[in-house]
Amino acid sequence: MTDRRASRNDNRTEAIMRAALDLALEVGYAKLSIEAVATRAGVGKHTVYRRWPSRGLLFLDSVLTLSTEDLSHPNTGDVVADLREVITKAVDLLDQPPWGPLYRALIGEAQHDPEVATALNRRFIEPQTADTLARLKAAKEQGELAPDFDLDLAFDVLSGPLYYRLLITQQPITHDYIDRVLRAVFAGMSPRAQTR
Protein backbone atom coordinates (compact mmCIF):
# COMPACT_ATOMS: atom_id res chain seq x y z
CA MET A 1 0.00 0.00 0.00
CA THR A 2 2.79 2.43 0.92
CA ASP A 3 4.71 1.70 -2.33
CA ARG A 4 1.58 2.34 -4.40
CA ARG A 5 0.94 5.63 -2.57
CA ALA A 6 4.58 6.70 -3.00
CA SER A 7 4.41 5.83 -6.70
CA ARG A 8 1.19 7.84 -7.10
CA ASN A 9 2.83 10.80 -5.32
CA ASP A 10 5.90 10.52 -7.56
CA ASN A 11 3.67 10.41 -10.65
CA ARG A 12 1.74 13.49 -9.48
CA THR A 13 4.93 15.36 -8.71
CA GLU A 14 6.31 14.54 -12.14
CA ALA A 15 3.04 15.53 -13.84
CA ILE A 16 2.97 18.86 -11.98
CA MET A 17 6.56 19.71 -12.91
CA ARG A 18 6.01 18.69 -16.54
CA ALA A 19 2.88 20.87 -16.64
CA ALA A 20 4.81 23.82 -15.18
CA LEU A 21 7.52 23.49 -17.83
CA ASP A 22 5.07 23.06 -20.70
CA LEU A 23 3.02 26.08 -19.63
CA ALA A 24 6.12 28.22 -19.07
CA LEU A 25 7.25 27.44 -22.61
CA GLU A 26 3.77 28.12 -24.02
CA VAL A 27 2.79 31.32 -22.19
CA GLY A 28 6.03 32.46 -20.56
CA TYR A 29 6.97 32.34 -16.91
CA ALA A 30 5.34 35.71 -16.17
CA LYS A 31 1.90 34.24 -16.99
CA LEU A 32 2.46 30.93 -15.23
CA SER A 33 0.03 30.29 -12.38
CA ILE A 34 -0.40 27.51 -9.85
CA GLU A 35 -4.05 27.17 -10.90
CA ALA A 36 -3.13 26.65 -14.57
CA VAL A 37 -0.42 24.14 -13.62
CA ALA A 38 -2.86 22.21 -11.42
CA THR A 39 -5.45 22.11 -14.21
CA ARG A 40 -2.88 20.95 -16.78
CA ALA A 41 -1.55 18.27 -14.41
CA GLY A 42 -5.05 17.08 -13.51
CA VAL A 43 -4.68 17.77 -9.78
CA GLY A 44 -6.13 20.23 -7.30
CA LYS A 45 -4.18 23.41 -6.59
CA HIS A 46 -3.82 22.32 -2.95
CA THR A 47 -1.88 19.28 -4.20
CA VAL A 48 0.56 21.67 -5.85
CA TYR A 49 0.80 23.95 -2.81
CA ARG A 50 1.49 20.97 -0.52
CA ARG A 51 4.65 20.31 -2.51
CA TRP A 52 5.70 23.88 -3.36
CA PRO A 53 4.83 27.02 -1.39
CA SER A 54 5.29 29.28 -4.45
CA ARG A 55 5.27 29.13 -8.22
CA GLY A 56 8.92 30.25 -8.19
CA LEU A 57 10.03 27.21 -6.18
CA LEU A 58 7.87 24.92 -8.34
CA PHE A 59 9.50 26.41 -11.43
CA LEU A 60 12.99 26.01 -9.94
CA ASP A 61 12.45 22.33 -9.16
CA SER A 62 10.94 21.76 -12.59
CA VAL A 63 13.80 23.41 -14.48
CA LEU A 64 16.47 21.62 -12.44
CA THR A 65 14.94 18.23 -13.31
CA LEU A 66 15.65 18.83 -17.00
CA SER A 67 19.41 18.48 -17.10
CA THR A 68 20.97 15.06 -17.26
CA GLU A 69 24.21 16.51 -18.62
CA ASP A 70 27.27 15.91 -16.44
CA LEU A 71 28.85 19.32 -15.97
CA SER A 72 31.65 18.22 -13.64
CA HIS A 73 35.19 19.04 -14.70
CA PRO A 74 37.61 16.34 -15.78
CA ASN A 75 41.26 16.68 -14.83
CA THR A 76 43.30 15.71 -17.87
CA GLY A 77 46.25 17.89 -16.94
CA ASP A 78 45.15 20.58 -19.41
CA VAL A 79 42.97 23.05 -17.50
CA VAL A 80 42.04 25.04 -20.60
CA ALA A 81 40.83 21.94 -22.45
CA ASP A 82 38.95 20.74 -19.36
CA LEU A 83 37.20 24.09 -18.90
CA ARG A 84 36.44 24.32 -22.63
CA GLU A 85 34.77 20.89 -22.49
CA VAL A 86 32.48 21.80 -19.59
CA ILE A 87 31.70 25.34 -20.74
CA THR A 88 30.88 24.04 -24.22
CA LYS A 89 28.52 21.40 -22.77
CA ALA A 90 26.77 24.03 -20.64
CA VAL A 91 26.48 26.51 -23.50
CA ASP A 92 25.19 23.85 -25.89
CA LEU A 93 22.59 22.88 -23.28
CA LEU A 94 21.47 26.51 -22.86
CA ASP A 95 21.43 27.06 -26.61
CA GLN A 96 18.55 24.69 -27.15
CA PRO A 97 15.00 24.57 -25.93
CA PRO A 98 13.71 23.90 -23.45
CA TRP A 99 16.73 24.67 -21.23
CA GLY A 100 17.75 28.07 -22.60
CA PRO A 101 14.46 29.97 -22.31
CA LEU A 102 13.55 28.28 -19.04
CA TYR A 103 16.93 28.94 -17.40
CA ARG A 104 16.79 32.62 -18.42
CA ALA A 105 13.31 32.86 -16.89
CA LEU A 106 14.56 31.17 -13.73
CA ILE A 107 17.45 33.64 -13.42
CA GLY A 108 14.96 36.47 -13.91
CA GLU A 109 12.69 35.13 -11.16
CA ALA A 110 15.68 34.80 -8.82
CA GLN A 111 16.17 38.57 -9.10
CA HIS A 112 12.74 39.15 -7.53
CA ASP A 113 12.24 36.18 -5.22
CA PRO A 114 14.88 35.71 -2.49
CA GLU A 115 13.73 32.13 -1.81
CA VAL A 116 14.26 31.18 -5.45
CA ALA A 117 17.63 32.97 -5.51
CA THR A 118 18.79 31.15 -2.38
CA ALA A 119 17.60 27.76 -3.65
CA LEU A 120 19.09 28.29 -7.12
CA ASN A 121 22.43 29.28 -5.62
CA ARG A 122 22.47 26.36 -3.18
CA ARG A 123 21.34 23.69 -5.62
CA PHE A 124 22.91 24.73 -8.92
CA ILE A 125 25.23 27.77 -8.91
CA GLU A 126 27.28 26.90 -5.80
CA PRO A 127 27.98 23.27 -6.80
CA GLN A 128 29.03 24.37 -10.31
CA THR A 129 31.19 27.14 -8.86
CA ALA A 130 32.82 24.79 -6.34
CA ASP A 131 33.60 22.26 -9.08
CA THR A 132 35.17 24.92 -11.31
CA LEU A 133 37.19 26.39 -8.44
CA ALA A 134 38.41 22.90 -7.48
CA ARG A 135 39.61 22.37 -11.06
CA LEU A 136 41.36 25.77 -11.09
CA LYS A 137 42.94 25.04 -7.70
CA ALA A 138 44.26 21.70 -8.98
CA ALA A 139 45.70 23.48 -12.02
CA LYS A 140 47.38 26.01 -9.75
CA GLU A 141 48.87 23.23 -7.60
CA GLN A 142 50.11 21.45 -10.76
CA GLY A 143 51.85 24.61 -11.95
CA GLU A 144 49.49 25.33 -14.85
CA LEU A 145 48.52 28.68 -13.31
CA ALA A 146 50.49 31.45 -11.71
CA PRO A 147 50.89 30.70 -7.98
CA ASP A 148 49.59 34.13 -6.97
CA PHE A 149 46.55 34.16 -9.25
CA ASP A 150 43.20 34.91 -7.60
CA LEU A 151 41.01 31.88 -8.41
CA ASP A 152 37.75 33.51 -7.31
CA LEU A 153 38.44 36.41 -9.65
CA ALA A 154 39.35 33.96 -12.43
CA PHE A 155 35.98 32.26 -12.01
CA ASP A 156 34.17 35.60 -12.20
CA VAL A 157 36.13 36.61 -15.29
CA LEU A 158 35.37 33.27 -16.96
CA SER A 159 31.66 33.23 -16.24
CA GLY A 160 30.92 36.96 -16.58
CA PRO A 161 31.09 37.19 -20.40
CA LEU A 162 28.98 34.05 -20.78
CA TYR A 163 26.20 35.30 -18.50
CA TYR A 164 26.44 38.76 -20.11
CA ARG A 165 25.68 37.27 -23.51
CA LEU A 166 23.09 34.85 -22.17
CA LEU A 167 21.11 37.38 -20.12
CA ILE A 168 21.89 40.89 -21.35
CA THR A 169 22.77 41.03 -25.03
CA GLN A 170 21.37 37.58 -25.94
CA GLN A 171 24.10 37.26 -28.55
CA PRO A 172 25.02 33.70 -29.42
CA ILE A 173 27.69 32.06 -27.31
CA THR A 174 29.61 30.21 -29.98
CA HIS A 175 32.42 27.74 -29.49
CA ASP A 176 34.73 30.34 -31.03
CA TYR A 177 33.59 32.89 -28.44
CA ILE A 178 34.31 30.39 -25.64
CA ASP A 179 37.82 29.90 -27.05
CA ARG A 180 38.36 33.68 -27.19
CA VAL A 181 37.27 34.07 -23.54
CA LEU A 182 39.55 31.21 -22.45
CA ARG A 183 42.51 32.64 -24.36
CA ALA A 184 41.97 36.11 -22.89
CA VAL A 185 41.64 34.80 -19.33
CA PHE A 186 44.48 32.29 -19.42
CA ALA A 187 46.94 34.71 -20.97
CA GLY A 188 46.95 36.43 -17.58
CA MET A 189 46.79 33.23 -15.51
CA SER A 190 49.77 31.38 -16.95
CA PRO A 191 52.93 31.09 -14.89
CA ARG A 192 55.39 33.84 -15.76
CA ALA A 193 58.99 33.13 -16.61
CA GLN A 194 61.39 34.06 -13.83
CA THR A 195 63.49 37.11 -14.61
CA ARG A 196 67.02 37.40 -13.29
Give the span between the Cα atoms of 96 and 116, in whole angstroms. 23
Which of 156, 20, 133, 160 is closest to 73 using CA atoms? 133
Low-confidence residues in the chain, pLDDT < 70: 1-8, 67-69, 188-196
Architecture in CATH of 79-189: Orthogonal Bundle (1.10)
H/E stretch holding 186: helix 175-189
pTM > 0.85: yes or no: no
Give the span between the Cα atoms of 51 and 19, in whole angstroms. 14
Which of 56, 43, 67, 53 is closest to 116 using CA atoms? 56
| Domains 2-64 and 79-189 agree in fold | no
What residue spans define the domains of the chain? 2-64, 79-189
**CATH class for domain 2-64?**
mainly alpha
**pLDDT value of position 196:** 47
